[in-house]
């Protein structure tokens, strides 16, 4: 399990930026392969985009709402699962895999469990399946990314928890740092966490200093002048990035 090493101030700083900006910083500092399973590769929907980004450490679980045998096999599953959630320091994002995928028999996620998990220090969830009670979950302040909506909970019961889960095309382990918003989510390798906030800030400012300012100062210029300005901005963007990160 990854160690929770960032300060609360740094986590709040990360939360101020959207997930693509965090990605822009991350790709400059990481030695990992960019397409190596750190961002979702399947479509995910943010059902509370107005809440902005969420940042937290993964707590994980697997469900199979279509199967009524799980609760019979372990009548204590719910209590044990909630004890696990409560035992991990926050902020936490609950990442849940639905074994019924791609079908949907029901969901554990709704008004009740959003409020319960919020009380245990969870800021939201990433559910590779369905949710319900969107308005009530929003009212609880519990941000949710999922595939779709559904009506019922069927036989929802935790099958296992504190384990690796496979969601939206990538694998997530307990304790990994996640940044998520309406664009999707990114899992930050432990060795990249310390530099991430400053890298994201730098890349955002670098864009403002170069491409964005050149593009928005186009009024009154000829097409050739605009193209020259954008070419110069591209060179300056690359130079500043190389000077800051050495790549």
Q: Name the average pLDDT for the chain.
A: 96
Nearest partner of 96 among 157, 18, 11, 179, judged by Cα: 157
On the question of a cis peptide bond just before residue 132, with omega within 30 degrees of 0, the verdict is no
The pTM of this model reads 0.94
Q: Position of tokens 């559910």? A: 127
Q: Is 23 helix (H, G, I), strand (E, B) or coil?
A: helix
**Each residue of 85-142: pLDDT tens digit?**
999 999 999 999 999 999 999 999 999 999 999 999 999 999 999 999 999 999 999 9
**Each residue of 132-170: pLDDT tens digit?**
999 999 999 999 999 999 999 999 999 999 999 999 999
Instruction: Return the pLDDT at 49.
Output: 98
Residue 218 pairs in a beta bridge with none
On the question of a cis peptide bond just before residue 91, with omega within 30 degrees of 0, the verdict is yes
Strands 122-131 and 143-149 come out as parallel
Residues 6+ apart with CB under 8 A from 235: none
The helices-and-strands tally (H runs, E runs) of the chain is: 9, 10
Instruction: Return the pLDDT at 126.
Output: 98
CA 21 → CA 16, 125, 145, distances in Å?
10, 21, 19
Q: Residue 118: in which H helix or E strand, if any?
A: helix 111-119
Confidence of residue 3 (pLDDT cuts 50, 70, 90): low
Q: Within a 10 A sphere around the Cβ of 8, how many other Cβ atoms?
A: 9
Region 207-220 average pLDDT: 93
Instruction: Return the pLDDT at 58.
Output: 98
Confidence of residue 209 (pLDDT cuts 50, 70, 90): very high
CATH for the stretch 33-188 = 3.50.30.40
Tokens for 120, please give them: 């245990």
Q: Report the alpha-carbon distance of residue 169 to residue 159 in Å, rounded.
A: 20
Q: Residue count of the chain, please give it.
A: 247
Tokens for 82, please give them: 């909630």
Q: Report the alpha-carbon distance of residue 209 to residue 233 in Å, rounded.
A: 8
Nearest partner of 46 among 54, 38, 56, 35, judged by Cα: 54
Using a pLDDT cut of 70, give the percent of the chain over it: 98
Residues 6+ apart with CB under 8 A from 102: none
Q: Is the pLDDT of residue 183 over 70?
A: yes
Instruction: Return the pLDDT at 247.
Output: 81
**Each residue of 26-36: pLDDT tens digit?**
999 999 999 99
**Each residue of 70-83: pLDDT tens digit?**
989 999 999 999 99
- Cα dihedral 140, 141, 147, 153 in deg (nearest 10): -20
Region 218-224 average pLDDT: 91
Q: Is 73 helix (H, G, I), strand (E, B) or coil?
A: helix
């Amino acid at each position: 399990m990854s160690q929770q090493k960032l300060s609360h101030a740094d986590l709040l700083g990360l939360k101020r930026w959207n997930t693509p900006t965090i990605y822009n910083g991350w790709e400059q500092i990481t030695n990992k392969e960019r397409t190596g399973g750190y961002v979702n590769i399947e479509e995910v929907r943010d059902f509370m985009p107005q809440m902005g980004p969420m940042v937290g450490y993964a707590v994980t679980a697997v469900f199979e709402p279509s199967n009524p045998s799980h609760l019979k096999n372990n009548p204590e599953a719910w209590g044990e699962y909630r004890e696990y959630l409560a035992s991990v320091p926050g902020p936490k994002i609950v990442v849940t895999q639905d074994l019924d995928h791609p079908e949907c028999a029901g969901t554990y996620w709704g008004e009740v469990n959003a409020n319960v998990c919020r009380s245990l220090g969870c800021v939201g969830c990433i559910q590779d399946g369905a949710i319900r009670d969107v308005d009530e979950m929003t009212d609880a302040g519990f941000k949710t990314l999922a595939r779709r909506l559904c009506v019922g909970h069927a036989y929802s019961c935790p099958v296992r928890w504190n384990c690796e889960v496979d969601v939206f095309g990538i694998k997530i382990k307990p304790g990994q740092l996640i940044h998520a918003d309406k664009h999707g989510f990114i899992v930050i390798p432990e060795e990249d966490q310390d530099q991430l906030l400053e890298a994201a800030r730098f890349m955002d400012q670098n864009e403002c200093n170069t491409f964005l300012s050149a593009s928005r100062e186009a009024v009154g210029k000829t097409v050739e002048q605009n193209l020259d300005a954008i070419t110069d901005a591209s060179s300056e963007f690359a130079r500043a990035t190389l000077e800051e990160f050495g790549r």
